[in-house]
């Protein structure tokens, strides 16, 4: 323990129950601690202590255990290509009314306006309606400007005007400040993976890297369909970094094709190529 008493700020509580540490409100705020929060305290070898917000309980564990124990129902697996999609069904006979709607619903109702902030990390949105709007992490917005993906889930309040935190998904496209934007869809799985972390940790370089990866996969997918003789009226080229093209053209065409083509054809074709 440190012998420099002048640096110690903790005091033994008068009732003998432990040590009280006095922290200034501005210091607590910097550490992300608010009044009434649970915190974790670690005594360091040099006698100092580290106070930080306590790790939240693993609510995923409870959520998944509840699902396994029958909190939801699972539909029959649906075969899509070589994979399966399993529907999750609610057990409630009648759902409670929502006090929010989704972005596609809000756009259809004309209550959302998106514009480019002119900065790479933000999309300006105005909710002019009287319902909250759920924005999902990974949703992509495009227009006559650089497309962006939103990096957090949130519910916009009615009549709220806010800048949504975002990252670029087409690195070579210039930004056009104040350009109108609209929803293009959802980022592919691997791009979404790079976004699923606290905002301060979402790395733009990694997002671009994942866009590059999915474009490479698109090249392979398009080739395998074409080699198998499937009519595929779109293309993607090595080195492209245009994610919205992959989402709109390749993703939809591939999805449509794989739902109508026996996946065995693709596997047989692959074997043939490997001979």
Partner 1 sequence: MFKRGRWNIKEGKEIPKQIGMIVVKNGKLIGMEMAGHPDTFNAVKAQLYQKYAIDLASTGQKVEVDVKKVMTDLLIELRDGHVEMGDSSQNIGGQNVFVETPELRGSFFQRGNLPVFVSIVRK
Residues in 185-214 at the binding interface with partner 1, rule: CB under 8 A: 185-190, 192-193, 196-200, 214
State how far the Cα of 105 lies from the Cα of 37, in Å rounded to an integer. Answer: 37
Binding mask 136-175 for partner 1 (x = CB under 8 A): xxxx-----------xxxxxxx----x--x----------
Q: Among residues 56 and 174, whose Cβ is nearest to partner 1?
A: 56
C-alpha 230: how far from chain center = 33
DSSP state, 249? Answer: I
35 binds partner 1 (CB under 8 A): no
Instruction: For residue 61, count other CB atoms closer than 10 A to its CB.
Output: 9
Cβ at position 48, least distance to partner 1 in Å: 24
Q: Among residues 146 and 192, whose Cβ is nearest to partner 1?
A: 192
Q: Among residues 23 and 100, whose Cβ is nearest to partner 1?
A: 100
State how far the Cα of 125 lies from the Cα of 165, in Å rounded to an integer. Answer: 11
Number of residues lying near partner 1 (CB under 8 A): 94
Instruction: Decide: helix, strand or coil at residue 41.
Output: strand
Residues in the chain: 275
Q: Which of 65, 178, 182, 205 binds partner 1 (CB under 8 A)?
A: 65
Q: Among residues 10 and 75, whose Cβ is nearest to partner 1?
A: 75
DSSP state, 209? Answer: H
State how far the Cα of 259 lies from the Cα of 245, in Å rounded to an integer. Answer: 20
State how far the Cα of 134 lies from the Cα of 206, in Å rounded to an integer. Answer: 26
Cβ at position 231, least distance to partner 1 in Å: 14
Q: Which of 2, 40, 74, 182 binds partner 1 (CB under 8 A)?
A: 74
The tokens of 43 are what? 């005594």
State how far the Cα of 29 lies from the Cα of 21, in Å rounded to an integer. Answer: 15
Q: Among residues 5 and 85, whose Cβ is nearest to partner 1?
A: 85
Q: Among residues 168 and 222, whose Cβ is nearest to partner 1?
A: 222
224-263: which residues touch partner 1 (CB under 8 A)? 224-225, 246-247, 250-252, 254-260, 263
State how far the Cα of 237 lies from the Cα of 173, in Å rounded to an integer. Answer: 17
78-117: which residues touch partner 1 (CB under 8 A)? 78-90, 92, 95-96, 98, 100-105
Q: What residue has token string 């990390």?
A: 121
């Amino acid at each position: 323990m440190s012998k420099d008493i002048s640096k110690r700020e903790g005091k033994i509580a008068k009732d003998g129950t432990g040590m009280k540490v006095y922290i200034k409100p501005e210091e607590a705020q910097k550490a992300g601690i608010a009044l009434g929060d649970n915190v974790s305290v670690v005594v360091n070898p040099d006698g100092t202590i580290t106070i930080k917000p306590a790790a939240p309980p693993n609510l995923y564990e409870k959520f998944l255990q509840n699902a396994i124990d029958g909190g939801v129902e699972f539909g029959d697996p649906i075969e899509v290509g070589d994979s399966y999609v399993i529907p999750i069904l609610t057990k409630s006979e009648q759902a409670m009314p929502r006090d929010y709607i989704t972005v596609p619903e809000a756009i259809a109702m004309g209550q959302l306006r998106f514009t480019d902030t002119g900065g790479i990390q933000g999309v300006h949105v105005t909710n002019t309606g009287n319902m909250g709007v759920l924005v999902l992490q990974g949703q992509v917005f495009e227009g006559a400007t650089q497309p962006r993906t939103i990096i957090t889930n949130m519910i916009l309040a009615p009549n709220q005007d806010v800048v949504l935190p975002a990252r670029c998904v087409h690195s070579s496209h210039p930004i056009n400040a104040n350009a109108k934007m609209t929803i293009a869809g959802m980022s592919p799985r691997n791009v979404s993976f790079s976004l699923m972390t606290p905002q301060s940790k979402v790395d733009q370089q990694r997002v671009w890297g994942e866009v590059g990866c999915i474009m490479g996969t698109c090249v392979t997918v398009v080739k395998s369909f074409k080699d198998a003789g499937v009519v595929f009226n779109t293309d993607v080229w090595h080195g492209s970094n245009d994610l919205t093209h992959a989402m709109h053209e390749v993703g939809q065409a591939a999805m449509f094709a794989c739902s109508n083509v026996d996946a065995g054809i693709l596997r047989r074709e692959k074997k043939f190529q490997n001979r």
